[in-house]
Amino acid sequence: MINMKIALLCFAIAVAAIVPARAQFAAQQTWQATTTGSANAIVIAIPDVSSIADLVGVPVRFLPSATNTGPATAAVGGTAATAVKKATQNGLAPLSGQEMVAGQVTKLIYDGTQYVLDNTISPQPILFTNTTYCVSASGNDSNSGQSPNCWLTLQHAANFISQYNANGFTITINVGTGTYAAVNLLPVGGNGFVNWIGNASTPANVIISSSSTSSITAIGVTGQSFNGFTLIATSSSPADGLGACLSETAQSSLTIKNIVFGTCYGDGAFVQQSNLNIGPGTVASSGNITGQSCNPGCGALFDANYGGFISSNSGATLTINNAVTYVETVEARAAGFTSIVFSTIINYPNVTGKRFECTLNGVIETLTGGNLNYYPGTVAGTPNQSGCQYN
């Protein structure tokens, strides 16, 4: 019996000699306290990785050394830098900024193609102050978007801010001198405002030009404004079927001021089941508006269509910079309503075309007692047709 006890004691001592005093769990091998590399190109040191294939399905946890500012990559265990994606309602998407926050535990899982942030849908970041971003013709969409590290395209800016809950605050996007491609606006949650600021004193210096669609498109977008831009849309067969310089549909609500309408293939401003407010400042026209993309029914500088509403603030002025041709200056069609009154119309004789078109229960309010010559043009409008009301 004594020999048996001695044997068991010896066995216990032998086992203790080969087992560490502190247990090691497998998951500890996929942890790095703080990453190296940079905010958007993180390096994670974990042991025993011979190739990236070893990491499929493995949770890799770490503390970012800096908050990412845009799309990011991860190089794990000595493997090549590989894209990090996030889950969205539309599938996996590149990071846009602030998904990996400095000092906060973060987890990635490699799916065989890319690393995926281990959450279902990235939470919507909330603003707690007014925020300013910038776009520049010399910028880069991989930048942070904050001066002097501006973005390059308006579309990237629109995509980026759409992730936010504005929380009642204002997002300002300053746009530098240059010519930019068309932008398809996206909604921003949280009852805030988005102000796109170009050059209010010289809008010709900041151009939004499209050869394939409307130059600004808003579908279900509210609370956004444009100040200090020239808009051009030249497509002879626009992909959106409109080719307007500004297109608003699906309960959108925008404000414009200090805007120049250049050549517009469809309308200057096409507003359908939406609201457009012309704020204080100058609206100018320097190009023809042919209406060929949807004639009849467009070709107006301002077109309120199918329940669209266009109004102007006091202090708005209209300047016709040079000789231009419109199908009509103002159109209200199919219960469209316009209340567009300018404090001054400069270079009135420069417009060739019909003064207004009003059909299918459209309403045009000029606050002039029915002055049929209020809007510029060389051809008289036709009031009181198809239920039109012109006042």
- pLDDT, tens digit, 9 for 90 and up, residues 312-356: 988 899 999 999 999 999 999 999 999 999 999 999 999 999 999
Tell which wins on pLDDT, 308 or 102. Answer: 308
pLDDT band for 161, please (50, 70, 90 cuts).
very high
Rg (CA), the chain: 30
- Alpha-carbon gap, residue 62 to 84, rounded angstroms: 14
Let me know if residue 311 belongs to a domain. Answer: yes
Let me know if residue 180 belongs to a domain. Answer: no
Instruction: State yes or no: pLDDT of 20 exceeds 50.
Output: no
Same domain membership, residue 88 and residue 229 = no
DSSP 8-state secondary structure symbol assigned to residue 77? T
Instruction: State yes or no: pLDDT of 22 exceeds 50.
Output: no
* Counted domains in the chain: 2
Residue 382: per-residue pLDDT:
84
Let me know if residue 55 belongs to a domain. Answer: yes
Let me know if residue 4 belongs to a domain. Answer: no
- Alpha-carbon gap, residue 356 to 389, rounded angstroms: 12
Residues 6 or more apart whose Cβ sits within 8 Å of residue 285: 260, 261, 268, 301, 318, 319, 320, 321, 324, 351
Residue 69: per-residue pLDDT:
81
Same domain membership, residue 212 and residue 73 = no
Determine contact, residues 114/85, Cβ cutoff 8 Å. Answer: yes
Instruction: State yes or no: pLDDT of 252 exceeds 80.
Output: yes
Give tens-digit pLDDT for 269-294.
Answer: 999 999 999 999 999 999 999 876 56
Give tens-digit pLDDT for 77-107.
Answer: 999 999 999 887 667 888 877 788 888 889 9
Which region among 147-156, 196-205, 286-295 has the lowest average model confidence (pLDDT)? 286-295
Q: Which of 307, 294, 254 is nearest to 277 (CA)?
A: 254
Same domain membership, residue 257 and residue 348 = yes
Determine contact, residues 122/100, Cβ cutoff 8 Å. Answer: no
Let me know if residue 8 belongs to a domain. Answer: no
How many Cα atoms sit within 13 Å of 391 on the Cβ side? 9
205: left (phi over 0), alpha (psi -120 to 50) or beta: alpha
pLDDT band for 119, please (50, 70, 90 cuts).
low
End position of a domain, from candidates 71, 99, 117:
117
Same domain membership, residue 324 and residue 227 = yes
Same domain membership, residue 233 and residue 109 = no
pLDDT band for 242, please (50, 70, 90 cuts).
confident
Q: CA-based angle 355:359:362, to the nearest 5? A: 95
- Alpha-carbon gap, residue 156 to 162, rounded angstroms: 10
Residue 370: per-residue pLDDT:
85
Instruction: State yes or no: pLDDT of 130 exceeds 50.
Output: yes
Same domain membership, residue 380 and residue 275 = yes
Residue 78 lies in domain: 23-117
Same domain membership, residue 209 and residue 86 = no
DSSP 8-state secondary structure symbol assigned to residue 13? H
Q: Which of 283, 285, 336 is nearest to 313 (CA)?
A: 283
Tell which wins on pLDDT, 25 or 282. Answer: 282
End position of a domain, from candidates 117, 135, 151:
117
- Alpha-carbon gap, residue 94 to 156, rounded angstroms: 12
- Alpha-carbon gap, residue 187 to 164, rounded angstroms: 9
Let me know if residue 207 belongs to a domain. Answer: yes
Residue 91: per-residue pLDDT:
77
Compute CA distances 341 → 230, 259, 366, 374, whole Å: 21, 16, 6, 9
Averaged pLDDT score across all residues of the chain = 89
Let me know if residue 221 belongs to a domain. Answer: yes
Let me know if residue 298 belongs to a domain. Answer: yes
End position of a domain, from candidates 82, 100, 117:
117
Matching residue, tokens 């000789």:
323
Same domain membership, residue 337 and residue 231 = yes
Same domain membership, residue 373 and residue 269 = yes
